[in-house]
Structure 1
């Protein structure tokens, strides 16, 4: 059987041990060049290495949008880094029942590689924010990521499963809990099916809920931690309203997008670079006061979207102390940022905190 064939999925791996036996063998392999390749015992051979690169390469296409800056971005580079990071666990697994045949070994590699990609994403700012959201929902009895097998619990009251009927849902999907639905007379078979409501409509619902902000913390230049956006329970109340409007479950990514839309502290602000009528970039003054004031004077009378874009451009590079000084000098700007429900204005809040995020990271 050729190397290429063994590196693909066209044979029954539950009945073979090519990768496993290769690992425990002490042998030489011919290769192009004057020196043969010698593989010692307890090392992965060419077949396993080919398969690992193949599995990691497939997952790379799936997880590419989540990779942090500077991460390996080719199948070979990813496979090499995956092996370097996970080598100890991979070698230990070869002595366990998890890898007693080729099928189990391939499954183990795939699961390990998925975990490796997810850990890289979890270290990004967005990954940390999404994990914080998951934990907050997990601590609130109104939400769950455990769902029933629809259509298999007809005897359950209001679709609420009992005992073995309750199944673990996908980790990425969330909805209202069985207890919440039961207490409100709602049917779990309906509310634990995927929502068909558009994300745009749910974002509109989110804007109806208040999010209080600590003004003093926002203006405190010496504060090391970022201020909390929202009083305790405000975000959870907002999500309760969103899930009720959704009448179904939502992927964690959709929930995060809705929260990010409403609470700008969770959104990575990407400032645009305004240009003049000739297409030349606008060069703001270096001094923070003149830069901010020039922006405000130049954009007086423009619509909110352009106003906020230019304001963010002027503020994004200021130090926290200078930002606080500017906000104290212009309380009317802070009031507009805090009181508006316009998402374009919300996004400028992150411009006021951008450098604190960078320093913390």
Structure 2
């Protein structure tokens, strides 16, 4: 077995790890390096391995720094299965297509500037068509369901609690009569966050590939952050103000909606209109609704009571058109 690291090493983004075993190649994640265009374009464009020789991809979750370079991998010749949880497959369909739209728009903007300087045009890193081809290779798998993406390697996903569908990956490898357990953590979530299940601690492994973005940080109790948020919302609404919250479209937006739902349901804050004004956030929330199996026990009980929806309530409006968005201004 040979493992090589092609991203998320000495940097946070660009997660991509190649496992070579039994004459086959398995890629763990295929993410974009993120940052200034001048610093990342070439790093994302060129792989340090031949995509045509990769037999399968295992995807831990849908964030762009883990899934965002899959269309380029396909563009460069990869045509094997992309295995993920079912929720990750659905979220990736949104995230990767959104990324492709950004790649095309970004290239158009750069080429306009280059034309003014008499410089040749550049191609987008990948196109919507490349992204659609990549999505056609996805294979959704249930948590804890064992499957064999390449000969001699049995894989299962376990809950990572990071975003909807996120997973750690356990690989049971048999090579030349030797059995090895290799664990890939993916991105690890926090305990006691709303909506999603807590991370599951993996069983013993011989080798561990683990993210360490917050390895030297001590997070505050999420309950403290919730109380502070509730107090700001209450104080602002009581004086007739408006609360504007910038939030990531996947994960954070849904957490905020869930908190606001609870606060208004319990009369902890004044009832007030709530608007989610982001196409990606609106579409992502639709994926959340389809995957209640990823919700924690508290959220499932809240939904199954028959009185509530986790991500919908009377005062909430999801903005779906440009006209509706402009009307908010």
TM range (shorter): under 0.3
Q: Which has the higher helix share?
A: 1
Larger radius of gyration: 1
The TM-score normalised by the length of structure 2 is 0.25
The TM-score normalised by the length of structure 1 is 0.23
